[in-house]
C-alpha cells in the first residue's frame, strides 16, 4: 500500500475515554533478543507490532530461531541457547541482516553476534548508517572481536568476521565502554556478555557520564528475568556473575510503552474533558512501570497535569491552565522529554529542557527538528548542543497552520500532533504520518478515538456525478490518500432496499413510513473490509443490478431520505470524510469546503462499463449500454427527490480524457489549494 504523504489533523477540542497502549519498543526488542539467546522456548505476550520489532524478528529467524505465532497477542520463540545457526565449525557462510532504523536491534545484535561466532553483515536504512556505533565496536575490538566498518568508520554497516570461530577474548580486565553518547552501547554489552560469563565474572566499566540511565534499569530488570545475575556499583561498574546462563522464564509479558503514554498524558493535560466525562484513562502501563520514561509523569504534573494511576493504568485530567512553564534536566527521560517540548506550546512562559544532547543522535537530530517545527507553529525557540528553550506563540494570532516535517521520526510525528489542540483552532498537517509505525502504528487512530473536534471543523469533500462516471472509485481513492473516512451514500439506499426485501416490504409510496422506520434503524456495520447487515456480510449482495434498481426506487421516497440523514452525518468523524452520492453537497453537507461533480461523455462511460462487464463475462454492446445510461441520466435529472444535478458551488471535472490517477490528482490539487498550510 502507498504510504500517505500527509495527514491533516483538524483542530481538536477535548479528550476523554480510554486508550489501550501498544507494547514498549525497548522492552519488546530486548525480550526478543533475550528469548533468542536463551535455552528453551519463551511465550512473549503483548509484543509491539512495529517496524523495529519486525526487523528484529526477521533477523532472529535468519539466525535460526523458531518463531511461532500463538494468537493475536502472543508468539513463541525457541531460543538458540547461545549458538547461531551457522556454528563456526559448520559453515562460514555469510548472513546478511538488514535492521532498518532500529538502534535497539543494531547495537545489541552486533555485540551478541560478535561473541557467538560466524560471518555477519549488519546494515540498515541510510539514517541507521549515520547513527554512531564506534564506542561499542571499540569495546568489542578491545576484547578481541574482529569487526570491520563497511562504510564510514564508526557507523554501520558492519561486518563481523568470526567465520573461524570467536578469537580468544580478553576477559581478565574490565570491558570499557563510553556511556555519554548512547546508553544502548552499555545495554548491548550487558545483554551479550552473559554469553561468555560461564566460568568467570565479567566486569564492564563505563567511561564518562552515563546518559539515559533508566534504559539501563530496563535492561538489568529483564536480564534478571532471564536468569542472569549481576551487580552494579553506582552507574560506573557492572559485574555479570560467573556461571550466568540465559534461561527462558517461560512467559515474558511486554509492558506498554511509557513514552507512548506521554502523548496521551500530555493530551489530557492540554485539552478539556468532554462534558459528562471524567478525564482520560490510559491502559497498559502504570505508576510502577520498570520504564524510566514513566517519570515523565512528574514533569507533566509540574506543568499542571493531574495524573493518578494503578499498576497497569493511568488517569489524566487537565489541572493548571494554561500549563506552567518549567525548567528541567531531562537526562532521565530522553524520549518522553520531547513531549514536554510540545506541551511547552501551551505554557505560561518559556520552558527550558536541558541535558538533552542525546537527542542529536536519535532517529534525526531532534533538537534541530524541534526548533524548526515549533517555530513553524509560531513558537520562539532557542537551542544549544544540549538544551532547548520554547516560548509559546504570544497570542492566538501568532499561531500558524503548519505543515510539520517529521524526519522519519515517529516521536516528531506524535509530539507535534499535540499542536492540533491549539487555541487558534488551526488544523495541523503531519507529513509522512506512517513514520509512527516505528513504535505505534495505531497512534492516529487511537488519538481520533479519544479526541473530539467540533463537527464543523472536520472537513468533508463531496463527490457526485452521473452513473458510471467513476465517482465511487475517485471517492475511495481520495479518501485513502487523505486518510479520511468514506461515505458511499448509495450503499445506504442499497442496504435499505435489501433490508426491505428481507422484511417483506414493498418498495412503493404506500409503504413509505415503514421503509423510513427501517432506514432509520438499519442494523448496519461498516468494517474496513466488509459491510454487515444484521450480522450478515452483504458486501457483494448490495452490488447487484437488481438491488441497484431497488435502491433507485427507495431513494425517491422523501421520508426514507430524511430517515438516513442522521446516519450520514455520523460519518463525519476525525480526521475527515469523503462523501460520495447524489445530495451530499446540496442536502447532507451543504457547507463542505470542496464539492466535485465528476462527468464523462455518455460514450466514454458506456465504453468503461462495457470493459467492466466483459471482464465479468457478461456480453453486451457499447451502443446498448450508452442508450441505457442516457435514459438513466434523463430519469435521474428529472426525478423530484434529489435529482441528479451539481451543487451550485461544485467544481465540474470531465474525466472523459483522464485516467483515474489523473482524476484523483486533480481533486487532490483542488483540495490542497483550499488548505491553509504554508509550505
Which residues are known catalytic residues?
335
Nearest residue (CB) to ligand DC, 394 versus 509: 509
Nearest residue (CB) to ligand DC, 452 versus 568: 568
- Name the residue with the smallest CB distance to ligand DC: 490
For 394, residues 6+ apart whose C-beta sits below 8 A from its C-beta are: none
- Supply 645's cell numbers: 444535478
How near is the Cβ of 590 to ligand DC at its closest, in Å? 13
How near is the Cβ of 488 to ligand DC at its closest, in Å? 7
> Which residues of the shown chain bind ligand DC in the complex (CB under 6 A)?
489-491, 493-494, 548, 551-552, 555, 581-583, 642
Nearest residue (CB) to ligand DC, 50 versus 489: 489
How near is the Cβ of 496 to ligand DC at its closest, in Å? 9
Helix spans in 504-621 (H): 512-520, 545-554, 558-563, 565-569, 602-615
**3-state per-residue secondary structure call for 321-365:** CCECCCEEECCCCCCCHHHHHHHHHHECCCEEEECCHHHHHCCCC
Between the CA of residue 608 and those of 540, 595, 667, what are the distances in Å? Answer: 21, 24, 20
Q: Which stretch of DSSP H or E encloses residue 371?
A: helix 366-377
Nearest residue (CB) to ligand DC, 10 versus 581: 581
Nearest residue (CB) to ligand DC, 395 versus 539: 539
Report the half-sphere exposure of 291 (CA within 13 A, side-chain side). 30
- Largest interatomic CA distance in the chain: 95
How near is the Cβ of 572 to ligand DC at its closest, in Å? 15
How near is the Cβ of 668 to ligand DC at its closest, in Å? 22
Give the number of other CB atoms < 10 A from CB of residue 644.
19
- Alpha-carbon distance of 407 to 411, in angstroms, equals 10
DSSP state of 585: I
Nearest residue (CB) to ligand DC, 400 versus 582: 582
Q: CB of 613 within 8 A of CB of 603?
A: no
How near is the Cβ of 334 to ligand DC at its closest, in Å? 52
Q: Which residue's C-alpha cell is 478539556? A: 272
Nearest residue (CB) to ligand DC, 282 versus 542: 542
- Alpha-carbon distance of 82 to 360, in angstroms, equals 34
- Alpha-carbon distance of 382 to 399, in angstroms, equals 18
How near is the Cβ of 588 to ligand DC at its closest, in Å? 7
Nearest residue (CB) to ligand DC, 434 versus 581: 581
How near is the Cβ of 494 to ligand DC at its closest, in Å? 5
Nearest residue (CB) to ligand DC, 326 versus 518: 518
For 195, residues 6+ apart whose C-beta sits below 8 A from its C-beta are: 37, 82, 112, 115, 116, 246
Q: List, as one string, the DSSP characters of 402-442.
A: BEE--TT-HHHHHHHGGGGG-TT---EEEESGGGGGGT-TT
Nearest residue (CB) to ligand DC, 278 versus 544: 544
- Alpha-carbon distance of 187 to 169, in angstroms, equals 19
Q: Is the dihedral of CA 109, 412, 284, 574 positive or negative?
A: negative
Query: Residue 380's beta-bridge partner residues?
Result: 391
Rg (CA), the chain: 30
Q: CB of 269 within 8 A of CB of 235?
A: no
For 284, residues 6+ apart whose C-beta sits below 8 A from its C-beta are: 20, 21, 22, 23, 46, 255, 256, 257, 261, 312, 313
How near is the Cβ of 71 to ligand DC at its closest, in Å? 38
Q: Under DSSP, is residue 35 helix (H, G, I), strand (E, B) or coil?
A: helix
DSSP state of 39: B
How near is the Cβ of 663 to ligand DC at its closest, in Å? 17
Amino acid at each position: 500500500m502507498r504510504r500517505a504523504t500527509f495527514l491533516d489533523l483538524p483542530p481538536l477540542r477535548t479528550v476523554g475515554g480510554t486508550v489501550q497502549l501498544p507494547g514498549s519498543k525497548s522492552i519488546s526488542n530486548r525480550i526478543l533478543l533475550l528469548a533468542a539467546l536463551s535455552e528453551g522456548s519463551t511465550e512473549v505476550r503483548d509484543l509491539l507490532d512495529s517496524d523495529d520489532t519486525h526487523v528484529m524478528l526477521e533477523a532472529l529467524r535468519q539466525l535460526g530461531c523458531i518463531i511461532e505465532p500463538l494468537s493475536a497477542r502472543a508468539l513463541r520463540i525457541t531460543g538458540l541457547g547461545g549458538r547461531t545457526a551457522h556454528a563456526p565449525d559448520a559453515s562460514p557462510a555469510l548472513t546478511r541482516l538488514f535492521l532498518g532504523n532500529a538502534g535497539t536491534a543494531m547495537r545489541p545484535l552486533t555485540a551478541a553476534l560478535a561473541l557467538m561466532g560466524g560471518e555477519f553483515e549488519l546494515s540498515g536504512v541510510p539514517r541507521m548508517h549515520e547513527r554512531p556505533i564506534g564506542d561499542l565496536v571499540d569495546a568489542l575490538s578491545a576484547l578481541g572481536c574482529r569487526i570491520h566498518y563497511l562504510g564510514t568508520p564508526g557507523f554501520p554497516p558492519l561486518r563481523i568476521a568470526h567465520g573461524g570461530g570467536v578469537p580468544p577474548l580478553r576477559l581478565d580486565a574490565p570491558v570499557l565502554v563510553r556511556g555519554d553518547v548512547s546508553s544502548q552501547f552499555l545495554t548491548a554489552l550487558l545483554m551479550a556478555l552473559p554469553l561468555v560469563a560461564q566460568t568467570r565474572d565479567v566486569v564492564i566499566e563505563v567511561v564518562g557520564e552515563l546518559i539515559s540511565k533508566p534504559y539501563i534499569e530496563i535492561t538489568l530488570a529483564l536480564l534478571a528475568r532471564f536468569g542472569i545475575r549481576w551487580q552494579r556499583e553506582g552507574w560506573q561498574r557492572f559485574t555479570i556473575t560467573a556461571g550466568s546462563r540465559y534461561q527462558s522464564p517461560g512467559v515474558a509479558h511486554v509492558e506498554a510503552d511509557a513514552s507512548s503514554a506521554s502523548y496521551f498524558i500530555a493530551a489530557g493535560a492540554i485539552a478539556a474533558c468532554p462534558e459528562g466525562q471524567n478525564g482520560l484513562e490510559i491502559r497498559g502501563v502504570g505508576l510502577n512501570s520498570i520504564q524510566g520514561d514513566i517519570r515523565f509523569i512528574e514533569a507533566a504534573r509540574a506543568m499542571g497535569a493531574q495524573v493518578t494511576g494503578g499498576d497497569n493504568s493511568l488517569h489524566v485530567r487537565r489541572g493548571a491552565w494554561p500549563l506552567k512553564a518549567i525548567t528541567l534536566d531531562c537526562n532521565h527521560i530522553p524520549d518522553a522529554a520531547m513531549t514536554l517540548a510540545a506541551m511547552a506550546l501551551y505554557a505560561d512562559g518559556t520552558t527550558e529542557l536541558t541535558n538533552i544532547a542525546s537527542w542529536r543522535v536519535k532517529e534525526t537530530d531532534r533538537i534541530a527538528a524541534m526548533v524548526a517545527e515549533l517555530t513553524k507553529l509560531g513558537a520562539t525557540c532557542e537551542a544549544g548542543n544540549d538544551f532547548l528553550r520554547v516560548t509559546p506563540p504570544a497570542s492566538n494570532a501568532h499561531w500558524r497552520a503548519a505543515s510539520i516535517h517529521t524526519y522519519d521520526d515517529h516521536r516528531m510525528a506524535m509530539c507535534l500532533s499535540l499542536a492540533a489542540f491549539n487555541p487558534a483552532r488551526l488544523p495541523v498537517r503531519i507529513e509522512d504520518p506512517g513514520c509512527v509505525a516505528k513504535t505505534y502504528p495505531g497512534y492516529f487512530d487511537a488519538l481520533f478515538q479519544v479526541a473530539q473536534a467540533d463537527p464543523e471543523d472536520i472537513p468533508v469533500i463531496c463527490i457526485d456525478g452521473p452513473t458510471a462516471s467513476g465517482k465511487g472509485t475517485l471517492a475511495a481513492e481520495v479518501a485513502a490518500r487523505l486518510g479520511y473516512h468514506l461515505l458511499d451514500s448509495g450503499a445506504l439506499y442499497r442496504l435499505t432496499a435489501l433490508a426491505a426485501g428481507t422484511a417483506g416490504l414493498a418498495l412503493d409510496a404506500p409503504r413509505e413510513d415503514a421503509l423510513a422506520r427501517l432506514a432509520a434503524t438499519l442494523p448496519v456495520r461498516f468494517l474496513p473490509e466488509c459491510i454487515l447487515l444484521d450480522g450478515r456480510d452483504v458486501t457483494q449482495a448490495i452490488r447487484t443490478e437488481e438491488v441497484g434498481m431497488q435502491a433507485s426506487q427507495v431513494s425517491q421516497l422523501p421520508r426514507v431520505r430524511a430517515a438516513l440523514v442522521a446516519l450520514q452525518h455520523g460519518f463525519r468523524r476525525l480526521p475527515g470524510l469523503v462523501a460520495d452520492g447524489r445530495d451530499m453537497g446540496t442536502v447532507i453537507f451543504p457547507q463542505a469546503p470542496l464539492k466535485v461533480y465528476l462527468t464523462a461523455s455518455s460514450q466514454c462511460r458506456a465504453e468503461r462499463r462495457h470493459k467492466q462487464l466483459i471482464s465479468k463475462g457478461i456480453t453486451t454492446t457499447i451502443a446498448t449500454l450508452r442508450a441505457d445510461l442516457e435514459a438513466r441520466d434523463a430519469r435521474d435529472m428529472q426525478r423530484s427527490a434529489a435529482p441528479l444535478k451539481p451543487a451550485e458551488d461544485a467544481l465540474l471535472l470531465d474525466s472523459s480524457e483522464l485516467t483515474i490517477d489523473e482524476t484523483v490528482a486533480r481533486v487532490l490539487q483542488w483540495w490542497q489549494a483550499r488548505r491553509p498550510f504554508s509550505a
